[in-house]
Structure 1
């Protein structure tokens, strides 16, 4: 029916009070009239005509939703059949328009999944749940995501539909990933992967392998992560999915950064940025810029890191992805903390913590808690620091988030040192050292060694402290982590001052001072004092 004719008919029905206008362009029946209309439709039109009408409606919703979510998150490959010639779905090219439509239609879309699961056509249930995944992911609407994925899987199981089963198992895995339930995510992906391979569906296989690799990154299984992500990249290339290639380069960068291979990570982020700009993905561009900023922060390029995080934050807000906006706030907090802008660091970390709680993003919550802990320790609030790190430790263990667990232990070691609880600090530092070595996290191994060195110097084990500090120094120099190098030199100087006399420490402190002066970090003042009045 032509749009102008439909508009006139709706206006006439509204004038007769048979329907009511909710918002511009949207109408609904009064409850009693809705029941009456349903009864009359059965009497007049018959079951077949009703089924045909519902099928047309659901198909329109399905392809309109697919168009909207593709504008929002184009990486997800469509598993939809071609649209019927008599169906004219909505088209979207603007992200804001797509989000607005999805937000408005969400109640009807959920009702469609529920109806199709119970009454049919069942393929609509899992296909609509499948195309909704990109929207649920970017907006972090997790309860609706989980409900539709479960219903879609139920419908696919009833039809023994392998494609639907694979897609819905993967959707549940992705939702669990976003809830930081990484082990559960891997369990669902392990069920989905053989189905995708049986279907010879490399588009879906690539998605499954990629998210499995990302889960392994956060579980600290870095070698497995690199293996999976390399395989996913090959699959995305075979299927010519540049969105998938770009995001897999990001994932490989994650793993390499945790391994301390910063220089190797940067080309992956550069390639991701190039691909995302080619395909005009603002979300992907934001992610690549954000991740590059993280590496620049590790390398002591703080001004560039801040600029990139601010740029990423702007892009995340434009595309409406709160999940990544939270992460950008945490990243900004880390750089502010390293630069000594502690008030800004505390404000950004607290903002990230609040947003993470609101969206159920437990990984970002862990990161925010640890950043709050580090910043509190550096301003002398040791009790607060220990409390934040203890909260991060409990949460990270609950979700098996290995890196955050190690960071919490390192933070606890240093906070307990500040509280005079040296034995407890040594235990935490040793646990962090074991964990970082098991996972291959070189930066964190060095962080743990520095924390242990400082405690051991305090308790009169300066010879052991020197060994720890020298080992940390070697790692920091190997991976090009200048702020860590400066801190390791400071710790080494403190230990040498105890064993070989104050003058033996000066050269190490002077070298540390040169590094920290170049970086513009707050350690400068302390190092100047140490050099002026050696201990």
Structure 2
């Protein structure tokens, strides 16, 4: 019979040798890991992890291995046993975990992360799960704890630290320690009187014990630190609405951020509760989930409401559609009332942070920058940044990159409710007006930077072209909401001015859907003001969008409406833009005669007004018409004149377009070297100007030029680049370019 020599030393030393002891016995018995796995019914991988110290052995595993290897209790002896504390009290095996969650979906990444943290057998493992209210932190912690309960044979301790509680103040460490010590076998009379002595005794009583401690709803690192056991191989799992940075820095805790569900996991939870009714109304189900913001608590409340009442998913979706009623529709008992859960975090905020949170509820978009928040709250930038970071620490907002933060939809609704309840109507109006003015000033400055040839309309300055473009890109999704807010609060003047200020960026970037939504709101605002010039400006924008979306008739009609409005206004420049728009529409409709007539009329007016930018636009499009008609000399003359004008006023967008026009004209005429030269010039200028659409068009033209020169490798390279940009923009031209790639491959193959 194999006997391992008895080792001396502490229980910690003996437990550390279990893996190597198991390996020694197994090898001595001539068994492979696979054979041992078959005898013990544990997986080969798990046994390998135990042998190498990556996983701690349970008493049950040790007993199974001892029996399988006929080790006569030697392996089982390497597993520590509960023993008397220093006070001679009998240490019991606590089992305090609340019941496991009845339903659990998703979170595979987070579960794996917790597994990785707790696998360190030679140290105390600590993990914190932090995230916004209602995101499912406790559910995740309890699910994982129950799943891994066999790994902690010496017991499980649980405490609600009441960090954000509706009725009670946060629990003191001394209070929790008293409960833990009694659970471990002490009588109340034996519990020391001070927190320090209780913490020291707790560490002593948990020394050499492999236990799990779940600390739910912590408010700070200081609240948690005295509750850490003294046992290597034990795990502490903490949940909190705040980021417990101190615990990470001083105790080495791993931090795990929890976000709302993915769309798939939200749907899975809804299906588990509601059943087949989800399949009967898939669109309504998606609407419900979207309006819950995929927040697990909100999804669960919504699902239980459907399951418990004979209502259709479409009815609930309709109830949730109105933002002001959304939180009321997601009310259940207080523990599962979304509004109540949010309130526990809000009520704990200092006064200044609470006001900032309320102000954020007035912001019309999901994401907000520090300067916009500062304008809303009427405070300095550094103070706004400080308050936003404080709100992010307790997950009432989330960081979305440098100097930007976002609110979950339901939290934004709650913040808005609080603003309406606490702040005077005049203060709310002033806050919204301040933010709108900030957007207008900054958008006007961005337009000036993107088109420096235009006269300045704002005292605000952005550092340069790249910074202006980056600001517009970051704020792009908010533009329709901001213009809509101006309209809602009775400031149609601001709605029109902001739409006008964004024209330079929209024309450069061509985000068709957002441009269309913004300008339709601007048109509504201009109509409220009864201003024909502003209406014409908005119609010019909507007309260009219609052309971009492939509806030339709609575009022509918009330009004509604008022209009619301007008939008696004495606005030659605005009228000339309408004529150019009509010309572009007719060009898309392949009516060359009408297109040329309208473009020439617009060009003459702009020339008379000495508007070099506008004249260059007309010239470029006249060149395009001439090229299509194979009037090469006229096309080159128009494009050269446009290029000269654009360079004289530093119009980078126009310069790229003029060079593109020259290149495609040379290509059509078979002058391939000149075509390559001009198109490469165009591409360089367009990249510097961030002209996505222009780059894609130029790359496509370069590909056609390389095909004409017989270089399929270069052609394919340019086609792939063009297709990538068109795909990113959602441009239907992608399909044509992909077809060109397929044709090129077919031709190359043969």
Tell me the C-alpha RMSD between the 2 structures.
3.4
Q: What aligned pairs does 1:282-431 form with structure 2 within 5 A after superposition?
A: 282-349=652-719, 351-362=721-732, 364-365=733-734, 368=737
Aligned to 1:127: 497
Q: What aligned pairs does 1:5-154 form with structure 2 within 5 A after superposition?
A: 5-8=380-383, 10-11=385-386, 14-15=389-390, 22=399, 23-26=401-404, 46-73=424-451, 89=460, 91-92=461-462, 94-154=464-524
CA contact (8 A) 2:440 2:497 kept: yes
Q: Quick one: distance in 2 between partners of 1:267 and 1:174?
A: 26
CA contact (8 A) 1:212 1:228 kept: yes
Q: Quick one: distance in 1 between partners of 2:593 and 2:743?
A: 28
Aligned to 1:263: 633
Instruction: Pick closer, same or farther for the CA change 1:9–1:375 going to 2, 3 Å.
Output: closer
Q: What aligned pairs does 1:441-456 form with structure 2 within 5 A after superposition?
A: none
Cα drift, residue 101 of structure 1: 0.8
Q: Quick one: distance in 1 between partners of 2:423 and 2:570?
A: 42
| Bigger fraction of residues in helix | 1
Aligned to 1:171: 541
Q: Quick one: distance in 2 between partners of 1:93 and 1:254?
A: 35
Instruction: Pick closer, same or farther for the CA change 1:210–1:369 going to 2, 3 Å.
Output: farther
CA contact (8 A) 1:58 1:124 kept: yes
CA contact (8 A) 1:243 1:279 kept: yes
CA contact (8 A) 1:330 1:367 kept: no
CA contact (8 A) 2:477 2:514 kept: no
Aligned to 2:602: 232
- Secondary structure of the residue aligned to 1:197 is coil
- Secondary structure of the residue aligned to 2:550 is coil
Larger relative contact order (Cα-Cα within 8 Å, sequence gap ≥ 6): 1
Instruction: Pick closer, same or farther for the CA change 1:31–1:283 going to 2, 3 Å.
Output: closer
Instruction: Pick closer, same or farther for the CA change 1:310–1:47 going to 2, 3 Å.
Output: same
Cα drift, residue 68 of structure 1: 0.8
Instruction: Pick closer, same or farther for the CA change 1:14–1:377 going to 2, 3 Å.
Output: closer
CA contact (8 A) 1:213 1:226 kept: yes
CA contact (8 A) 2:540 2:558 kept: yes
Cα drift, residue 139 of structure 1: 2.0
Q: Quick one: distance in 1 between partners of 2:645 and 2:463?
A: 19
Instruction: Pick closer, same or farther for the CA change 1:267–1:345 going to 2, 3 Å.
Output: same
Matched, 1:194 2:564: yes
CA contact (8 A) 2:509 2:691 kept: yes
Superposed CA deviations along residues 94-145 of structure 1, whole A, max 9, x for unmatched, are 2211111112223443321121122220122232223223322322311111
Structure of greater Rg: 2
Picking from 213, 218, 221, the partner of 2:591 is 221
Picking from 211, 215, 224, the partner of 2:581 is 211
Instruction: Pick closer, same or farther for the CA change 1:186–1:333 going to 2, 3 Å.
Output: same
Q: Quick one: distance in 1 between partners of 2:549 and 2:388?
A: 45
Aligned to 2:613: 243
Compute the TM-score of the two structures, normalised by the length of structure 2.
0.45
Q: Where does structure 2 lack aligned partners over 5 or more consecutive residues?
A: 1-373
Aligned to 1:437: none
CA contact (8 A) 1:125 1:151 kept: yes
Cα drift, residue 341 of structure 1: 1.9
Superposed CA deviations along residues 133-185 of structure 1, whole A, max 9, x for unmatched, are 33223223111111111222222233333233222222111111112222221
Instruction: Pick closer, same or farther for the CA change 1:100–1:287 going to 2, 3 Å.
Output: same
CA contact (8 A) 1:73 1:138 kept: no
CA contact (8 A) 1:123 1:164 kept: no
Cα drift, residue 333 of structure 1: 1.7
Superposed CA deviations along residues 163-222 of structure 1, whole A, max 9, x for unmatched, are 332222221111111122222211211111111333322232222211221222232211
Equivalences, count:
372
Instruction: Pick closer, same or farther for the CA change 1:39–1:180 going to 2, 3 Å.
Output: closer
Q: Quick one: distance in 2 between partners of 1:31 and 1:225?
A: 47
Instruction: Pick closer, same or farther for the CA change 1:265–1:12 going to 2, 3 Å.
Output: closer
Aligned to 2:650: 280
Aligned to 1:157: 527
Aligned to 2:65: none
Aligned to 1:531: none
Cα drift, residue 302 of structure 1: 1.1
Q: Quick one: distance in 2 between partners of 1:207 and 1:373?
A: 40
Aligned to 2:61: none
- Secondary structure of the residue aligned to 1:288 is helix
Aligned to 1:386: none
Compute the TM-score of the two structures, normalised by the length of structure 1.
0.61
